[in-house]
Structure 1
Amino acid sequence: MKKLINTLSLIFFAGVMAVSAQCCNGATANDNSTGTKATACCANNQTSSEVKAYYFHTTRRCATCQAVEKVSKEAIKEYYGDKVIFQSINSDEDKNNELVSKYKISGTALLIVNGDKTVNLTNDAFLNARNNPDKLKSKLKSTIDSMM
């Protein structure tokens, strides 16, 4: 019975990821799920030593997209109050073109930025926001702590 539940969970997860990828245009922003990588444009335009969290999304969002925003925003507020800026950015809106271009966003992405250092947490966010939000919160905290 446990094997059946695990198998069904795996199938469900695969389906959710496929829907998420379709809903979110299969978006990635410098798929750097393993840690840190500064993009050249980030180094040129980011001068503050303030940690910022950017959640890029499109107008049409799935439940996982919404959960990523909700969990990330809650965690950052809980752990850091106003010390870390969380900004939700609709990449479909023209007013956000500069940031979308700066970070080379092509859909949905969760980025933690400090100066010229950018950490992409998109994969962790989409894997955990709905079914294991505490894991996402923990990942956000450890990433932000390491950047402060």
Structure 2
Amino acid sequence: MRLTGILFVGLLFMMACTNNQPIKSDDLLMPKPGQIGIYYFRTSIRCETCDAIEQLIKDELAGNYASRLKEGEIVFRQFNLDDPAVVDFAQQFDVVFKSVIILKDEGAINLTNDLFLYVLPKPEKSRELFENTIDQL
């Protein structure tokens, strides 16, 4: 009976984190010189935190950074780590799990830990971290 309960809880967790919409991977391109690349590596399994991070990025790009995005100064690309073609590309950034990497020229900033830590309990802190990172580049 105990094993059945554990399996049931595991199944519920997987159902809660799964969305049937496939994530399409953008072209495996590096940002152009001087361009800021916001690269979001995900898997097909989605959770509330992952969705909140994606929404935060999209909100920021539609708001504070809309003109820079439109002018091509910033690019946002999303990659599905379940796609075998993405795995080697992701390894360039030491990515093996869901991650947010900010790129410019030869530099890369990994915001994954901070965004995963704060996006749900302190969304404003996540927003501030994201904005400070972009604004300093």
- The TM-score, its normalising length taken from structure 2, stands at 0.68
Percent identity over the alignment is: 28
Tell me, which stretches of 5 or more residues in structure 2 are unaligned?
A: 1-12, 18-29
How far residue 47 of structure 1 moved from its aligned partner, in angstroms, is: 5.4
Contact 2:102–2:108 under 8 Å retained in 1: yes
Higher share in helix: 1
- Confirm or deny: 8 A CA contact 2:35 2:105 kept in the other structure: yes
Report runs of 4+ in structure 1 exceeding 6 Å deviation: none
Residues of 2 paired with 1:118 and 1:61: CA distance?
Answer: 24
Backbone CA RMSD of aligned residues: 2.1
CA deviation digits over 1:105-145, x for unaligned, max 9? 11111111101111111111111212222211111111111
The answer for unaligned runs of 5 or more in structure 1 is: 1-18, 24-44
Q: Which residue of 2 aligns with 1:89?
A: 79
User: Where do 1:123-142 residues align within 5 Å?
Assistant: 123-142=113-132
Is the 1:89–1:96 contact (alpha carbons within 8 Å) kept by the matching residues of 2? yes
Cα contact 1:112–1:118 (8 A) shared by 2: yes
The within-5 A match list for 1:31-70 is 48-70=33-55
Deviations 1:4-28 (A, max 9, x none): xxxxxxxxxxxxxxx9xxx8xxxxx
Could you say what secondary structure the match of 2:63 adopts?
A: helix
Indicate the structure whose relative CO is greater, using CA pairs within 8 Å and at least 6 residues apart. 1
